[in-house]
A and B are shown apart, each in its own frame.
Chain A
Amino acid sequence: MTQLALVIDLNVCVGCHACVTSCKQWNTSGEAGPLFDDNPYGKDPTGTFFNRVQTYEVGEFPCTETLHFPKSCLHCEDAPCVPVCPTGASYKRAEDGIVLVNYDKCIGCKYCSWACPYGAREFDEKQKVMKKCTLCVDRIYDQSIPEDRRKPACVISCPTSARLFGDVHDPESEVSIAIREGGGYQLMPEWGTKPANHYLPRRKTKIRIHEDELVRADNPLRKEDIRKEKSTDITLDDWLM
């Protein structure tokens, strides 16, 4: 079984919003129709997005850290938004685990968004249907795109390569190794939704040195460091100098 997902490295993300704009660009240009923008250049611009980058402050001044946090649909393995849909418009694909909305079946009752604890779904005020991240399903299988570019738009655009894409069910995939070896975690695991997307934590490279490693009791050099009086004999060094 395949479960495609994103792994987002919070250690690398610089919060540039390139994934937000590239996501918007790709998904507003596709066959599913535009992602609605209301008043984009006016006073209160608003619109539908699949991806957002948020910023958090961890700690208290002066010991603070800024954390940029990209958030999109997590493509939960036990997606709570799917069974509540009254029309079957919201579904999880068996072949690759992507959670999608069939815009032709959606009645716009918004019930699925109530059942998503992550706020990953956004209602399109123009098309009057619920929308969400598709993992660029219209891109990753497109044979006309070069193979190495068949990835979600956000992954391609990330200038720091903070976003990885792959099958989290394949233990040897790049994403599985990143999760396993980089301490990847899920958001709000207490709800039991089993998000497929994972996040890699902030990491600092540290080395732990014990004091006895600096001043070693059994250091042979220390024992030899007994200064002898200078010999007055002519040595080989005298000849070489």
Chain B
Amino acid sequence: MNPAFSVIFLTTLIGVGQGLFLALFSSQTYSIVNVLPPQPGSYYALGGAIALTFLVGGLVASFFHLGHPERAWRAATQWRTSWLSREVIALPLVMGLVFVYAAVNWLGLDADLFGWGLHGQIPLIVGTLGAAATLGLFLCTSMIYGAIKFLQEWASPLTVVNFFLMGSASGFAFAAAYAAFMAPGVVEFYAGWAITLTVAAFASRAASLLRNARIKRIASIQTAIGVRHSKVQQRSMGFMGGSYNTRDYFHGKSLAFLKSVKWIFLVLVFPVPVLLLWLGLTLGNPVVYVVAFAVQYVGLLFERWFFFAQANHPQNLYYQVVG
């Protein structure tokens, strides 16, 4: 596939937004039961607003992928069958719940709903709904790719696991950077989980790379044209000037380029951020966390580019030779 930058930014940006929201909500839940030091409502409100900004950024990026963005509302109608349609519903739902979460924290709304005598029960309820929607959005986004059986590199449960782990890891890394300036008491919590999630993401992404290196192609040139002969070659694809089929399904880069992108993302997304987060934990310098997040995010752009470029569509069997 030829990677589209709109989709690369959409998936990475909403990943950060979702991960950041999960980080904020989990730390607030911990602080309600006094595992972590409590933070003022404004801390969660500002964090929620930043998460919302990431989500909006992703939404804006996604519109650049559409031929007719003004009709995008129609995309919410086929949720029964289409994962893309489900994402179109889940993304505004997450955005709305993150907004409400930030708002109730900002306004400091509090009520003893369950008679526990604890503060922060309203953010807890809104946050729980938001977290459920966030996990649903991870599922929808990743299943857009995982549900297409023709793209064998994507059609695996590992795609879902990768999207969840890498999105969450980058969100927790951002939360560590945010808390380093705003709430030093919870930095260790975020940074610790960012390291854990990054290591887990490395394991699952490495597993998918190994899987894809050993993939057995279901279709072949023989089944594509239905001729049983071990030697079949295309001599002409029927045109010379290129078409949608040649532009959108071939990245046109060399194998060496693809390989170098793989190693760049394998270094930038996993070991470097883990080292920097660990360095931040030992030094206590907030700037190190910012660098850790920035490096990981840039690495994720490479990762997503590679994710698309590596996928080999069976239609390419019909577009091998210009002539």
Contacts and interface: CB of A to CB of B under 8 A. Distances in A.
Contacts of A113: 244, 248
A190 to B, nearest CB: 5
By Cβ-Cβ distance, the 6 closest A-B pairs, closest first, are A108-B67, A128-B67, A119-B315, A83-B81, A86-B85, A86-B75
A105 B218 CA distance: 33
Contacts of B314: 117-118, 188, 191
Given A108-B68, A188-B223, A189-B223, 10 more contacts: A80-B150, A84-B81, A84-B148, A87-B75, A107-B72, A116-B150, A117-B150, A119-B316, A119-B318, A190-B218
Interface string B296-313: 000000000000000001
Contacts of A84: 81-84, 147-148
B236 A109 contact: no
Interface residues of A, number: 61
A108 B75 contact: no
Given A58-B232, A84-B81, A187-B224, A114 B313 contact: yes
Contacts of B148: 84, 114-115
Nearest to A84: B82
Interface centre among B66, B78, B232, B316 (most CB of A within 10 A): B78
Interface in B85-137: 85, 88
Contacts of A85: 78, 82
Contacts, number: 174
A165 interface: no
B253 interface: no
Contacts of A59: 229, 231
Q: Is the interface on chain B under 10, 10 to 19, 20 to 34, or 35 or more residues?
A: 35 or more
Contact of A54 (B71, B74, B234): B234
B285 interface: no
A119 B243 CA distance: 11
Nearest to A71: B318
Contact of A67 (B150, B225, B315): B225
Interface centre among A58, A111, A117 (most CB of B within 10 A): A117
B227 interface: yes
Interface string A167-189: 00000000000000000011111
